[in-house]
Chains A and B, each alone.
Chain A
């Protein structure tokens, strides 16, 4: 290991007796332990390698073994901004049908929840996961578990749907403290980042909309705080 200074002996705790200072029986135990730790370390690194590497001959062949070993606690993904960075801003927006105290129904305009996130992140040295990850990754989760016709692919799809709904509702409830939310609609607006000024690529300027259908709010969709008519004042 080139990493450590060979004068390491003088820095840090003094060495113990090592395997050489043990009795025969102790040496056997130590040797077995050394071999076991070595084997487990190698197998672990091999499994993690196959997990993070692009799908290949070996990882396809040992697919099941790799998944069994790695999931759930050693799952990892280092493809941040790779192979290509995301090249568009995806904004999640929502609008609601609100029943005012006199019972009259009105429909709000589209409220850009991602823009609210962006505003919270701006000028912050320590952006919160609430603003940077929750809605962004929640919507990713929804997209990844639904087909084009908004049909969920099983449990994950259904969970992602109620997750996004609850997230949106808790935020709308913050904005409409007086009224009762009757129905809500969500859409995403994907706007391509304009190519760099020095590039000769054409800009795709028309945003792409993905609009979900209206749904009627039930108590299931409401996080606890919102159920009492107020959001839990924990948001900044």
Chain B
């Protein structure tokens, strides 16, 4: 589970599951006994029921093998990690001057008022452990630090747990200062804990690669990992003792579960990279990751679907003037000149109003077609960029663009990553043609 204690997987044994395709034998569609071959020649008898059943079983086995053997969408989940941690980090840094007013013990929403509300809804916030200003500053600092480290992918799994606790602590402390952007970050911070989002584009991935190279000559021992693991037990214990009665049980299970899993992963890796225990933990981590990624994608669809469906019921979205009104609200018009310019043109307002509803309602269905999906993603991201500036909602927009990015094609992300990585740090040799784009090294490097 912890990506960081790993010397990388050993040789991959041949699968023993009777019906599974050998890995790498191509997509299920290329399998010779596909249930519905494109044009059955007259000499071949129609597929019998038993062969159909067998084909279905093979497909199911292939799918099960795939979701247990791979953490799907490594680049997409890395983008989620970088995007959400980055959004929250930027938000916290922006609010540093206002941090006490927003979340501090003596802000307008005082510590005691928060306590009364939380006594009823049982939301988690470490800020309720003490009403001292020092404690508040410490929690705020940890929230900032964990966001930065999660963004960089340093000890990703551990940071993702601290990041989640930081987000919950601040947001649940003052629930009346947040907006949609906070809501997205809140949910995604929880889901991210369950993903293996540090396998690429992270310090963990870089360390795993160097460790794997060094391990060829001499065994490499990770010292920071076990220490961090031991240290983490302290706040977890304190939290459990303090909040144990009121906090949601699943949150306790999640935190302690991740902690235990880290320890087991370390133990399994000590026994050697090829052991059965390590293989099983790897499979469990993949299952959890893929489930969480599915939930994240469905969550994004739910966001757009409900946003669109509710709009369809509104008269202003029907008569094509809806967009005009937010542009005239003082709280959502940081650039009144620009807003007025846009609001002055009835046809443009109509097109944007209808376009917004159409795109939002269509989004979940567009996922069924690659090309349509990609076009829609571009439209969505552009619209959010517009919202960021025009309505003054930069953090909401950044969070939504990150959420959209889970659906970006791997090829595009690799191209993007390649461009980011090829910014020359040392002089590029002139001979030998164009330098090959440096594809980021995967976390579990092969010897």
Q: Which of B65-73, B223-231, B426-434 binds A?
A: B65-73
Distance (Å) between the CB of A228 and the closest chain B CB?
A: 11
Q: Judge whether A74 is part of the interface by a CB distance below 8 angstroms.
A: yes
Q: Which of A57-65, A100-108, A130-138, A177-185 binds B?
A: A130-138
Distance (Å) between the CB of B46 and the closest chain A CB?
A: 29
Residues of A within 8 A of B122 (CB): 72
Distance (Å) between the CB of B446 and the closest chain A CB?
A: 6
A29 to B178, CA, bound (A): 41
Of residues 17 through 38 on chain A, the ones whose CB sits less than 8 Å from some CB of chain B are 17-23, 26-27, 29-30, 33-34, 37-38
Cβ of A30 and Cβ of B251 under 8 Å apart? no
Cβ of B102 and Cβ of A129 under 8 Å apart? yes
Cβ of A225 and Cβ of B106 under 8 Å apart? yes
Q: Judge whether B98 is part of the interface by a CB distance below 8 angstroms.
A: yes
Cβ of B66 and Cβ of A3 under 8 Å apart? no
Q: Which of B113-121, B138-146, B232-240 binds A?
A: B113-121
Cβ of A84 and Cβ of B108 under 8 Å apart? no
Cβ of A18 and Cβ of B106 under 8 Å apart? no
Q: Judge whether B56 is part of the interface by a CB distance below 8 angstroms.
A: no
Q: Judge whether A234 is part of the interface by a CB distance below 8 angstroms.
A: yes
Neighbour of B117 across the interface among A122, A159, A198, CB < 8 A: A159
Residues of B within 8 A of A109 (CB): none
Cβ of A78 and Cβ of B94 under 8 Å apart? no
With both beta carbons as reference points, the residue of chain B lying nearest to A3 in the complex is identified as B407
With both beta carbons as reference points, the residue of chain A lying nearest to B107 in the complex is identified as A223
Residues of A within 8 A of B407 (CB): 3
Cβ of A16 and Cβ of B70 under 8 Å apart? yes
Q: Judge whether A55 is part of the interface by a CB distance below 8 angstroms.
A: no
Cβ of B302 and Cβ of A30 under 8 Å apart? no
With both beta carbons as reference points, the residue of chain A lying nearest to B410 in the complex is identified as A5
Instruction: Give chain B's interface secondary structure class.
Output: helix
| Contact A166/B116 with A3-B297, A118-B331, A129-B102 known, Cβ cut-off 8 Å | no
Could you mark each residue 115-153 of chain A with 1 if its beta carbon is under 8 Å from any beta carbon of chain B, else 0? Answer: 101100111111111101110111001000000000000
Residues of A within 8 A of B367 (CB): 2-3
Neighbour of B442 across the interface among A3, A14, A159, A162, CB < 8 A: A14
Q: Judge whether B35 is part of the interface by a CB distance below 8 angstroms.
A: no
Distance (Å) between the CB of A170 and the closest chain B CB?
A: 6
Residues of A within 8 A of B95 (CB): 128-130
Of residues 24 through 56 on chain A, the ones whose CB sits less than 8 Å from some CB of chain B are 26-27, 29-30, 33-34, 37-38, 40-41, 44-45, 48-49, 52-54
Q: Judge whether B222 is part of the interface by a CB distance below 8 angstroms.
A: no
Could you mark each residue 339-350 of chain B with 1 if its beta carbon is under 8 Å from any beta carbon of chain A, else 0? Answer: 000011010010
Neighbour of B322 across the interface among A19, A81, A198, CB < 8 A: A81
Of residues 55 through 109 on chain B, the ones whose CB sits less than 8 Å from some CB of chain A are 64-76, 94-95, 97-102, 105-109
Residues of B within 8 A of A83 (CB): 310-311, 313-315, 317
Cβ of A45 and Cβ of B27 under 8 Å apart? no
Q: Judge whether B329 is part of the interface by a CB distance below 8 angstroms.
A: yes
Residues of B within 8 A of A130 (CB): 95, 98, 101-102, 177
Neighbour of A12 across the interface among B13, B109, B199, B368, CB < 8 A: B199
Residues of B within 8 A of A18 (CB): 15, 23, 65-66, 68-70, 283, 286
Interface centre among A17, A121, A125, A133 (most CB of B within 10 A): A17
A41 to B344, CA, bound (A): 46
Q: Judge whether B258 is part of the interface by a CB distance below 8 angstroms.
A: no
A198 to B324, CA, bound (A): 11
Could you mark each residue 178-215 of chain A with 1 if its beta carbon is under 8 Å from any beta carbon of chain B, else 0? Answer: 00000000000000011111110000000000000000
Cβ of A16 and Cβ of B282 under 8 Å apart? yes
Distance (Å) between the CB of B76 and the closest chain A CB?
A: 7
Q: Judge whether B423 is part of the interface by a CB distance below 8 angstroms.
A: no
Q: Judge whether B221 is part of the interface by a CB distance below 8 angstroms.
A: no
With both beta carbons as reference points, the residue of chain B lying nearest to A162 in the complex is identified as B113
Cβ of B123 and Cβ of A72 under 8 Å apart? yes
In addition to A52-B302, A85-B325, 5 A-B residue pairs with Cβ atoms within 8 Å of each other are: A3-B76, A29-B280, A52-B306, A85-B314, A85-B326
Task: Spell out A's residues near B (CB within 8 Å).
Answer: 1-9, 11-23, 26-27, 29-30, 33-34, 37-38, 40-41, 44-45, 48-49, 52-54, 71-87, 89, 91, 114-115, 117-118, 121-130, 132-134, 136-138, 141, 155-156, 159, 162-163, 166-167, 170, 193-199, 223-225, 232, 234-236
The 6 closest A-B pairs by CB, nearest first: A18-B69, A20-B15, A224-B106, A83-B314, A12-B74, A82-B310
Q: Pull 9 A–B residue pairs with CB atoms less than 8 Å apart, ordered by A.
A: A5-B409, A18-B23, A26-B280, A41-B291, A72-B121, A77-B183, A83-B310, A193-B329, A234-B97
